[in-house]
Amino acid sequence: MSFMTEFREFAIKGSVVDLAVGVIIGAAFGKIVDSLVKDIIMPVVGRLIGGLDFSNWFVMLGSPPPNYSGPMTYEALTKAGVPLFAYGNFITVAINFIILAFIIFLMVRQINRLRRAQPPAPPAPPEEVQLLREIRDALKK
């Protein structure tokens, strides 16, 4: 079997295709959760703790260029090429991860609950019982 034939058989397997679909959906779902955290949750959390914006929590590891006259915000300093220790972004990403993990946990928990809700099929009766039922049904006719 050639290398290409073996690779094609591997790539066409259902589990590989399912994994690819899962990764694509996961990436899109991650963007949704990222937007939820960045645009909805973090402003509320920032407001509750005094109007702080986590994205602007950073420590400058270098000085701005000598001719820099822009604002001292994370985005502006990053564009200016200033090295930053952006622990506020890390807090945002960590909260994003916790929320995403919690949502996935809830989804998997619900799926497992649905799987358990299906009653197991009753075991097949012994062969003798099955033969007696067939004889009974034949006599009824």
Nearest to 96 by CA among 23, 54, 36: 36
How much is the pLDDT for 53?
A: 65
Residues lower than pLDDT 70 in the chain = 1, 14, 51-53, 117
Nearest to 43 by CA among 87, 106, 95, 100: 95
How much is the pLDDT for 105?
A: 87
How much is the pLDDT for 103?
A: 80
Element (H, E) at 38: none
Instruction: Give pTM, 2 decimals.
Output: 0.54
